[in-house]
Structure 1
């Protein structure tokens, strides 16, 4: 996990990632705050890369009251300050961009008029009332919103951008058969359900050029009967790679991110999907120890490992793992020396 990795022209000094986690500590307008900058700054030391939490690409795509925003050029200055403070520690940083769709605070919308009962909205079970079925014209506007958000990320100095296609947000809603009930070119078969996410990817690529890496967080397993499975996502992963994704960040759970489970509970996704791709794969999932993170890399389940809540609790976790590894290496070398003598 302490080996380097190169994606396009960007080199990461190790494979440990601070993944995107919604903090809800921006201003009500989505502006960067001092508290948010300090959160990322103290977790920048020693880590391979940081992905700043999901930032809404349009005003009606907001999921949380104090969610970070990237929907307007006026927000670029604050985002630039955030990226600069992280870069001071020598750490590459990207930002995740998203649209909440049927989980939006205001004017919820999605692929279908009323979303499936499986999609929760801030923990509430049942259909999302008042969810509007998106017209093709609205889809084109949202595609452009993603492209403009990526342009702002580039102008603010971020090294890469991650498109959020998991955890029950809009792009995940299109990909999942549980929430996409359309009968036009955007629904039905797996390829049609991926049409809208792929349009977003291509528009983002057009906005930022060929050199800036694009990550994509894929909801690879809905973990519910009738939803997307790993077998579906093996096919989807290849389509996303062909569309221009440079790194696939695997997660799951159409009702939102899972907070409980055995350490490395999403590693099975990488084990199945990584062999069919030519691009790096990232997994997260309750990783608490350097031993587990290293194991996931060593057995080729992933190229990058996201360590989230553990780093929330201990901002010095990376440096502690480095010291443990160096200490263990010294003991091994000392043992080998004694045997040779």
Structure 2
């Protein structure tokens, strides 16, 4: 490795502040929020604690717990975790253990919107009245269009959840504005059909999500980082676009967001746009929650779930457009699995790198990269780890 590469790799594993806060991460690497499935009736279990502690020991600067629903009705299904007095107890223990392991910890706060089959939800809300294909076979066919009172309540749920997470010694929160969940549903023309000042132009479609993020930042204070996960695009014609992303990124910078995690895809329309590689359809059919779902997946799965081939750093070209437009800290996500890939991303001016599958395959991936023991992940992008989420918890079938 030449001196230029040595310099960048050394910088990658050096301490770095997150945004304008006093939070110092031990390096430039984040564990991307990836649904773990390590819960007992929605309550984090010891597996979840062990999972994130292993990531901290393995060299991750900031590890992120996925999908912390901000309300019981914000869950995609009824056994998912939401932020409440009961779940905060093991989460506080998790934060303590991660800190003892030398890492920092965040949690992704989100609301499912219409993407729900949670039969315990009092109502399913979204920007507009929408057909809910995900919950259709559970008898939950349509969402209700949100009123301004609903928006105020959801905003307060995010604020309360962020304050609760701060109170148990987490280091940051991530607000999920991507992947087709509620805030992403507002941003996307595919799902936001409103004719008021919350629909139409990107200025209007982003109004509620940006107001919500601003309220959270004001509530937790500038020294508690609020990151936002945002789509580069939805990966679907007529959806949230790269041009939209540039507008929202500039606005997030102006309201004091600590960093933007750039991602892509819409769970109900282009789920593998954000992951790439094989589609583990057989396991997905086995895991389906009803015979109706199993039959539907068997008959139509191959036709409706589009495959995207994996290539290293697959979002880089689009992410560079955002890098050129804003000064805010940017977290690159998408196909980084080697020393070469890491160097390319850092050389392009990104502040942080988020990883998922290389760390699921081997929690020691970053330590091994740093020490020169490996130069590339052995993850083969089979995506069977997705199937394992709905079994006993996410794991790599190759390394287990």
* SS at 1:207 equivalent: helix
Partner of 2:254: 242
Asked if structure 1 preserves the Cα contact closer than 8 Å seen for 2:108 and 2:175, the reply is: yes
Query: Structure 1-normalised TM-score?
Result: 0.88
Q: 1:188 aligns with which of 197, 200, 216?
A: 200
Partner of 2:356: 308
Partner of 1:337: none
Measure, in 2, the Cα distance between the counterparts of 1:232 and 1:65. 33
1:13 pairs with 2:26: yes
CA 1:68–1:164 in structure 2 vs 1: closer, same or farther (change >3 Å)? Answer: same
Q: 2:112 aligns with which of 70, 86, 100?
A: 100
Q: 1:4 aligns with which of 15, 23, 26?
A: 15
Asked if structure 1 preserves the Cα contact closer than 8 Å seen for 2:133 and 2:141, the reply is: no
1:88 pairs with 2:137: no
Measure, in 2, the Cα distance between the counterparts of 1:34 and 1:254. 31
1:275 pairs with 2:324: yes
Instruction: Give the CA RMSD over aligned residues.
Output: 2.0
Q: Provide, for residues 18-42 of structure 1, a one-character-per-residue CA deviation record: whole Å limited to 9, x for no partner.
A: 11001122122x2221111111111
Partner of 1:295: 344
Q: 2:61 aligns with which of 48, 57, 60?
A: 48
Shift of 1:121: 3.0
1:112 pairs with 2:161: no
Query: Structure 2-normalised TM-score?
Result: 0.75
Asked if structure 1 preserves the Cα contact closer than 8 Å seen for 2:177 and 2:228, the reply is: yes
Asked if structure 1 preserves the Cα contact closer than 8 Å seen for 2:232 and 2:319, the reply is: no
Q: 1:153 aligns with which of 165, 171, 180?
A: 165
Shift of 1:104: 2.2
**Which runs of structure 2 are paired with 1:66-85 in the superposition (5 Å)?**
66-70=79-83, 72-85=84-97
How many residues align? The count is 318
Instruction: Could you tell me which runs of 5 or more consecutive residues in structure 2 were left unpaired when the two chains were aligned.
Output: 1-11, 277-309, 376-400
Partner of 1:284: 333
Measure, in 2, the Cα distance between the counterparts of 1:121 and 1:290. 38
Partner of 1:324: 372
Instruction: Could you tell me which runs of 5 or more consecutive residues in structure 1 were left unpaired when the two chains were aligned.
Output: 328-341
CA 1:326–1:315 in structure 2 vs 1: closer, same or farther (change >3 Å)? Answer: closer
Shift of 1:136: 1.1
Measure, in 2, the Cα distance between the counterparts of 1:143 and 1:315. 35
* SS at 1:103 equivalent: coil
Measure, in 2, the Cα distance between the counterparts of 1:280 and 1:200. 20
Measure, in 1, the Cα distance between the counterparts of 2:373 and 2:24. 22
1:259 pairs with 2:275: yes
Asked if structure 1 preserves the Cα contact closer than 8 Å seen for 2:368 and 2:374, the reply is: no
1:170 pairs with 2:170: no
CA 1:80–1:175 in structure 2 vs 1: closer, same or farther (change >3 Å)? Answer: same
Asked if structure 2 preserves the Cα contact closer than 8 Å seen for 1:37 and 1:85, the reply is: yes
Partner of 1:335: none
Measure, in 1, the Cα distance between the counterparts of 2:241 and 2:172. 28
Partner of 1:332: none
Partner of 1:333: none
Shift of 1:270: 2.3
Partner of 1:338: none
Measure, in 1, the Cα distance between the counterparts of 2:24 and 2:347. 19
Asked if structure 2 preserves the Cα contact closer than 8 Å seen for 1:270 and 1:281, the reply is: no
1:61 pairs with 2:36: no
Asked if structure 1 preserves the Cα contact closer than 8 Å seen for 2:177 and 2:230, the reply is: yes
Measure, in 2, the Cα distance between the counterparts of 1:59 and 1:326. 43
Asked if structure 2 preserves the Cα contact closer than 8 Å seen for 1:60 and 1:104, the reply is: no
